Amino acid sequence: MMTAPTNVQTILGGDGKPAYVVVPYDDFIKLRGAVRPGTIPNTVVGRHVMEGVSLLQAWREYLMLTQAEMAERMGITQAGYAQIESAKRPRKATLEKASAALGITIEQLVY
């Protein structure tokens, strides 16, 4: 039986089970949650502008993170993170910490 050619490479871990998948960059950036450096996905802008959610929430949801996961990445409680996400104007230092937790630049978070 022949299988269709693929440009995806699976790398096995020490236990012999798949541990990583390598995909071409053009395919990667089409995946939900993938971010091209220096850009803001239409989904994020749309959630913020059209639906009125904070940019922080729009980014978090786009990257498929829960508030608890963001809080853990930032070293704070989930309740503390929820307050930050709903704040009208979070402090710049807080936004810098959040952007680092999201893996994006501060410019992408405060456009």
| Domain parsing of the chain, residue ranges | 42-109
CA angle 111-96-32, nearest 5°?
Answer: 60
pLDDT at 71: 97
pTM of structure: 0.70
Region 24-30: what's the mean pLDDT? 70
Handedness of CA 98, 102, 108, 109 (dihedral sign): negative
Please name the residue ranges forming H helices in 34-105: 42-51, 55-62, 67-74, 78-86, 92-102
Q: How confident is the model at residue 1 (pLDDT cuts 50, 70, 90)?
A: low
Question: What's the rounded Cα separation, in Å, for the pair 10 and 12?
Answer: 6
Per the CB < 8 A criterion, the answer to whether 67 and 73 are in contact is: no
Query: Strand pairing of 18-22 and 9-12?
Result: antiparallel
Q: What value does the mean pLDDT take over residues 19-42?
A: 75
- Between CA 54 and CA 59 the distance in angstroms is 9
pLDDT for the residue numbered 6: 73
Report, at the CATH architecture level, how domain 42-109 is classified. Answer: Orthogonal Bundle (1.10)
Label residue 30 by pLDDT band (50, 70, 90).
Answer: low
What is the tens place of the pLDDT at every residue in 53-111? 999 999 999 999 999 999 999 999 999 999 999 998 999 999 999 999 999 999 999 87
How is residue 98 written in tokens? 């959040």
Which of 76, 47, 29 minimizes the C-alpha distance to 98? Answer: 76
